[in-house]
Amino acid sequence: MTDHWAVFVSCEHAGNQIPAPYQALFADAQTLLASHRGYDIGILPLARKLAQELAAPLLATTITRLLLDANRSPRSRTLWSALTRNLPAGERAELLQRYHTPYWDEARATVARLGAAGHRVLHLSVHSFTPVWHGVARNADLGLLYDPARPVERAFCTLLQATLGRLAPGLRVRRNYPYRGNADALVTALRREFDPDAYLGIELEVNQNYPLSDPQSWQTFQDTLLEALRHSLKESGG
């Protein structure tokens, strides 16, 4: 294995689409679908930009997380929403087989393929979060989620945070906020399968204030994040 990084970008909550056979379940849920509970608002353009600029494969699903959550393991209690958790077991098994298993299998195969080519893999799982949760404002513009028990992940996120601090001193960048970096997620599952020195699973959590702000501010945010990632990859041996 070389020290060269290969980047892999995924986006588990890229859209709020409903497959035709299940549209009746959501007939009265249009407002919910359009909210942050239906998908990660504004995040797919960032995922596409990172993949294009970093020459990375992109894996994204635009099926709403309210059907089933592609960023939860099959046994997670939050895999299903209130609209789907009471479906018959056979229907839930079919949904898993049709929309969840292929996505996770492709993510796993992508990491394995990049690793087999001699690369260390930086997997960026890209998300956005609502600025206010249960009436409390979230105190961050960008969260970097990682497993603190994996030293290479911790070191990379520390470097990325410091780099962003130099490039954009006013940007509020926090580590393992607003969620724990080792909670149930796609990257958490992949960490159990791949060596900690060869696979880094980092979740980028963007405050939705940015994609919902004026286009120039959102563009500046994306450009700054991209520059910081490039610098951090280079400093880390990429």
Could you tell me the CATH number of the domain that includes residue 40?
3.40.630.40
| Contact assessment for residue 43 and residue 211, using Cβ atoms and an 8 Å cutoff | yes
Mean pLDDT of the chain: 96
Strand order in the sheet with 173-175: 58-60, 5-11, 120-129, 199-207, 142-145, 173-175
| Average pLDDT of span 70-83 | 96
Q: Considering the chain, what percentage of its residues have pLDDT values greater than 90?
A: 95
| Average pLDDT of span 175-200 | 97
Q: Which of 48, 75, 52 has its CA nearest to residue 62?
A: 48
Residue 67's domain comprises 5-235
- pLDDT over threshold 60, residue 217: yes
Domain count, the chain: 1
Q: What is the pLDDT of residue 134?
A: 87
Give pLDDT tens digits for 4-35.
Answer: 899 999 999 999 999 999 999 999 999 999 99
Helix axes 215-235, 43-53, angle to 10 degrees: 40
Give pLDDT tens digits for 191-210.
Answer: 999 999 999 999 999 999 99
